[in-house]
A = this chain, B = another copy of it.
């Protein structure tokens, strides 16, 4: 048995799973013989792009909203979100019949704004900065008495996100490695606790855009480091990692690797073209790491670069391995695809 974090353990995640089961999809696990051939491994894609609201965020938000006591629930819920978490809270609130106030940056993707509105939630726009989001959300909460459902620091949200890998390991028990992206760290924290508890020898590796590499830097430093963000196409991963999330991540995660913007776009396109499924840029980040950080196939030959050993720590070895990859979402603005000018 893995010794798990005080506030999060496998039984908590399993309880979350029971709580949300009537309200979410048990998503498919897809494979691709072509991508297996290209990578040399056996890749199992957990298709959270097929999840309700089109992203894994339905899991955590539903668990948090349905964990509230009746009195608190009646006063409603509020959150700030660039999109998927907002839609997830809006949907969960609708299912529970309570009000939801979703603070969204004014530059959010249209498809994500529409999704929130379609669930009958009140959208409150704010300037596209972390500070404005928090200020406006605090203001909404002060005025309405709603409960904040934070998108990654809320423990019920983290437990809910951990249910995706529970299903994945029920369907494919003998994984050697599981990969997911990291933004605030809700999914990664839940995934790491569930995966290491269910299968102690599994490796858990997260991937992050190098343009928003605070989690990788924090992981190397052993403490939370907030970084100035450059633009990344993986808009779901621009957030800094949360403190409670990092405490779990530091303990259970094996590595956090970064990927270039070019690799994200290429990975996204490869999955669209090969698997015929739609994933959003953030969801492509783990596969981008596999594509970009694959050890040279002929690394044993004389043509290997002399500094190979220096770089090896950053490589992802999937050859001969069974690898689970959480495809986190599929909400894309089809009018603004990254490969179109």
Q: Which residues of A contact B (CB under 8 A)?
A: 28, 30, 49-50, 54, 111, 269, 272-273, 275-279, 330, 334-335, 337, 339-340
Contacts and interface: CB of A to CB of B under 8 A. Distances in A.
Contacts of A111: 273
A24 to B, nearest CB: 12
A196 to B, nearest CB: 29
Copies held by the complex: 2
Contacts of A50: 30, 275-276
Contact of A337 (B49, B279, B337): B337
Contact of A334 (B30, B49, B272): B272
Contacts of A339: 334-335
A334 B28 CA distance: 24
23 contacts: A28-B28, A30-B50, A49-B276, A50-B275, A50-B276, A54-B276, A111-B273, A269-B334, A272-B278, A273-B334, A276-B278, A276-B279, A276-B330, A277-B277, A277-B278, A278-B278, A334-B337, A334-B339, A335-B339, A335-B340, A337-B337, A337-B340, A340-B340
Contacts of A340: 335, 337, 340
A86 B176 CA distance: 38
Nearest to A335: B339
Nearest to A271: B278
Nearest to A278: B276
Given A111-B273, A335-B340, 6 more contacts: A272-B278, A276-B277, A276-B278, A334-B337, A337-B340, A340-B340
A275 B49 CA distance: 9
A30 B276 CA distance: 13
> Which residue, of A50, A277, A335, has the highest number of chain B Cβ atoms within 10 A?
A277
Nearest to A47: B276
Nearest to A268: B334
Contacts of A337: 334, 337, 340
